[in-house]
């Protein structure tokens, strides 16, 4: 039996160590450590030999020990600034979570999901994030009164934001959708269908998506604006639709700033005996998780590429964690998808 075979046999009897890998590769323990910690001070040939030895022995690096050397945790936080009950009921949020997870799947990074909303929760979260438990953070669903992103950014932590932050301008890295252009296209579509009394169910005005989609509506609406506000939920859309019908019974179209609010509005219209689209045409926004396609009638909506948003956010964060320069903000295009509701 050769020396290498002996080391591999020993490895089969007990968990392999750095010394085991070093013996199989024919290098020092320090060289194995440098390879595991991605040091540039290793030749390609030696790196290949060590990686082959790791594969042969089944060695698994000690993550805690590696963290002490590299100051890296190989963990990324996805912070969603909403109550936990919203996560799986909101197609946009669940799609973001899946796309971030999919982008991390081919890396050594772990995803840490965190849901926060209250000031106490935010303070606790900030202490956790700044305590070295993660290498960077993705922040989604920011509200206007939120200062967490600014505090993390000022601390030097790599941060990428989903959606344009409201408030004072800063050099945050963010990935957003063309909310203004998408909303404008929705209203122009309704105008092209001959609708003249077009209302909107606007999203929260403490969020960039709510603000920008209302702006797009106001840019394109013919005649006086007719606005009610919701919270991007189905219940919020239903309540806003009832208010709109009470204010203007003769409305003939509605642009809802999310598909969930559009579904709530459609239910109220049906209860009121209004036919869709004959009496009232309706358009939503998101087109995530096939929610719009499964509606009855199928919902015309503005599609934002949520999967690409989540993946791009993740790539930009990993780039920053690796020491890359901050990227410019990215605004992804939107597309109107015409279906039966208009």
| CB-CB neighbours of 88 under 10 Å | 10
CA 194/CA 175 separation, integer angstroms = 35
The structure tokens listed for 232 are: 């991007």
Mean pLDDT throughout 99-119? 88
What homologous superfamily is domain 75-176+307-332 in, according to CATH?
Response regulator (3.40.50.2300)
Bridge partners, residue 171, by sequence: none
| Burial group, residue 208, by CB count within 10 angstroms (0-12, 13-18, 19+) | buried
How many percent of the chain have pLDDT more than 90?
Answer: 55
CATH number of 3-70: 1.10.260.40
Q: State both tokens at 294.
A: 């499964």
For 203-232, write each residue's pLDDT tens digit. 999 999 999 999 999 999 998 999 999 999
Q: In terms of pLDDT, which residue wins out, 85 or 37?
A: 85
* CA 132 to the chain's CA centroid: 22
Asked if domains 3-70 and 179-305 share a fold, the reply is no
The pLDDT value given to residue 10 = 45
pLDDT band at 61 (very low <50, low <70, confident <90, very high): low
pLDDT score for 168 = 64
36: number of CA atoms within 13 Å, CB side?
Answer: 25
Model confidence at 170: pLDDT above 80: no
Q: Would the pTM count as exceeding 0.85?
A: no
The residue to which tokens 């020990």 are assigned: 65
What pLDDT, on a 0 to 100 scale, did the predictor assign at position 12?
A: 47
Instruction: Work out the average pLDDT over 22-30.
Output: 87
CATH class of the structural domain 179-305: alpha beta
**CA distance linking residue 321 with residue 340, whole number of Å:** 45
Residue 152: predicted pLDDT: 84
For position 149, what pLDDT does the model report? 83
Domain ranges of the chain: 3-70, 75-176+307-332, 179-305
């Amino acid at each position: 039996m050769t020396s290498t075979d002996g080391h591999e046999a020993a490895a089969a009897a007990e968990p392999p160590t750095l010394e085991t890998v070093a013996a199989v590769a024919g290098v020092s323990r320090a060289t194995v450590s440098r390879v595991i910690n991605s040091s540039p001070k290793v030749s390609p040939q030696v790196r290949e030999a060590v990686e082959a030895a790791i594969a042969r022995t089944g060695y698994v690096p000690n993550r805690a020990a590696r963290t002490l050397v590299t100051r890296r945790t190989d963990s990324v936080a996805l912070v969603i600034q909403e109550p936990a009950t919203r996560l799986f009921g909101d197609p946009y949020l669940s799609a973001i979570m899946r796309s971030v997870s999919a982008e991390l799947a081919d890396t050594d990074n772990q995803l840490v999901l965190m849901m926060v909303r209250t000031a106490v929760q935010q303070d606790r979260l900030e202490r956790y994030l700044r305590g070295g438990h993660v290498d960077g953070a993705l922040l989604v669903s920011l509200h206007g009164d939120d200062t967490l992103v600014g505090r993390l950014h000022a601390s030097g932590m790599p941060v990428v934001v989903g959606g344009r932050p409201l408030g004072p301008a800063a050099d945050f890295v963010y990935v957003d959708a063309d909310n203004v252009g998408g909303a404008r296209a929705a209203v122009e579509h309704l105008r092209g269908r001959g609708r003249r009394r077009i209302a909107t169910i606007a999203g929260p005005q403490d969020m960039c998506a709510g603000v920008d989609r209302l702006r797009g509506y106001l840019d394109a609406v013919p005649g006086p604006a007719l606005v009610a506000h919701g919270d991007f939920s189905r219940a919020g859309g239903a309540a806003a639709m009832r208010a709109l019908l009470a204010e203007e019974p003769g409305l003939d179209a509605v642009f809802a700033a999310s598909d969930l609010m559009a579904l709530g509005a459609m239910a109220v219209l049906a209860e009121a005996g209004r036919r869709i689209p004959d009496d009232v045409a309706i358009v939503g926004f998101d087109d995530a998780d096939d929610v719009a396609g499964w509606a009855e009638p199928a919902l015309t909506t503005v599609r934002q590429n949520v999967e690409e948003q989540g993946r791009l956010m993740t790539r930009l964060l990993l780039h920053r964690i690796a020491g890359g320069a901050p990227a410019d903000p990215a605004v992804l295009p939107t597309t109107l998808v015409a279906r039966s509701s208009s």
